Amino acid sequence: MHPEHELDLIRKSQQGDGTAFRLLVESHQALAYSIAFRFTREEQESEDIVQEAFVKIWKNLSKYNTEFRFKTWLARIVTNQCLDYLKSARKKSMSKILISEEMAISHELKMESEELKTIVYKLADQLTEKQKAVFILRDLEMLEPEEVCSTLQMSDGNMKSNLYYARLKIKEGLRKFYKE
């Protein structure tokens, strides 16, 4: 969506125009759902998070800072809600998802994409919250470094540091499956 058109829709939404807000929802819903699903990997949970995020945005439209892109604002709200969800989910079950050696042995050089996805997500589950958030936004959602910093409200150095450890852990995890 063109930034000017986006801003126009935001202004209309601020005045209570539901149709304009619906257009915003339609154009950004995919990103919100994608981020939420990569964090939670649960359809229902992801939909709830997306819904809550948009309701929150609707209520706080008057506070929207035009310096930031709507996409960044949405990503921030969704990420925060996902992190809250992960906190509560971790409290419920403290058992860590560990990749068994058996799984590693069974894998060939070229992994099936579905299996690969499962492994990457399971490895991401073992990262710290910040590392996971940076990894998902930068490497999976492919947001620009500045957008990641803005979304997670962290400095460039902090973002790079978290990304470094996240990639290192993912790389080490994948090495178990990847035979040279």
How far is residue 65's CA from residue 126's CA, in Å, rounded to a whole number?
34
> Do 45 and 85 form a contact (C-beta atoms < 8 A)?
yes
From 15-23, 64-72, 74-82, 96-104, give the range in contact with another protein by CB under 8 A. Answer: 15-23
How far is residue 156's CA from residue 119's CA, in Å, rounded to a whole number?
28
How far is residue 64's CA from residue 28's CA, in Å, rounded to a whole number?
16
Report the residue number, 34 or 92, with the smaller CB distance to another protein. 34
Dihedral over Cα of 111, 115, 117, 122: its sign: negative
> Do 86 and 39 form a contact (C-beta atoms < 8 A)?
yes
Residue 169 within binding range of another protein, rule CB under 8 A = no
**DSSP three-state, residue 131:** helix
> Do 33 and 41 form a contact (C-beta atoms < 8 A)?
no
Amino acid making up residue 164: Y
Find the binder of another protein among 82, 120, 127, 149 (CB under 8 A). Answer: 120
Q: Tell me how far, at minimum, the Cβ of 152 lies from another protein, in Å.
A: 15
Find the binder of another protein among 2, 4, 15, 59 (CB under 8 A). Answer: 59
- In the range 76-115, which residues lie near another protein by CB under 8 A? 111, 113
Q: Tell me how far, at minimum, the Cβ of 94 lies from another protein, in Å.
A: 26
How far is residue 171's CA from residue 120's CA, in Å, rounded to a whole number?
10
Q: Tell me how far, at minimum, the Cβ of 33 lies from another protein, in Å.
A: 5
Residue 126 within binding range of another protein, rule CB under 8 A = no
Query: What residues line the site for another protein (CB under 8 A)?
Result: 16, 18, 21-22, 25-26, 29-30, 33-34, 37-38, 43, 46-47, 50-51, 54-55, 58-59, 111, 113, 116-117, 120-121, 139-142, 145, 160, 163-164, 167-168, 170-171, 174-175, 178, 180
